[in-house]
Amino acid sequence: MRARAKVIAAVIGLALGACQSAARTPAPALLMQGDSLAMERLMSELTTEMQRTPIDLGPSDPTRSPVISVLPLPPGPLEDRSLAMPTLFHLEWD
């Protein structure tokens, strides 16, 4: 009976140890091609994420930097100052 309990404990220990895996940390990614198809897909994803249609990208180049900045909407005609900041997105590969 003792041997059976030890075997069961060993199997449970192995099963619990085998189920654990380290979470993969995302790594920075770049667009491999800056062609119109890749940029259209990027703009489509940004439009979906930000839920607005006029998307203006900042000065960063997604083929050289994993950080993409989306400029805020321009101020309205009655606004003389805007405190809006660009929204930053990080391209990641997981």
| Span 10-45, pLDDT tens digits | 666 666 666 656 667 888 988 888 889 999 999 999
Round to whole Å and give the CA distance between 28 and 94. Answer: 9
pTM higher than the cut 0.85: no
The predicted pLDDT at position 20 comes to 58
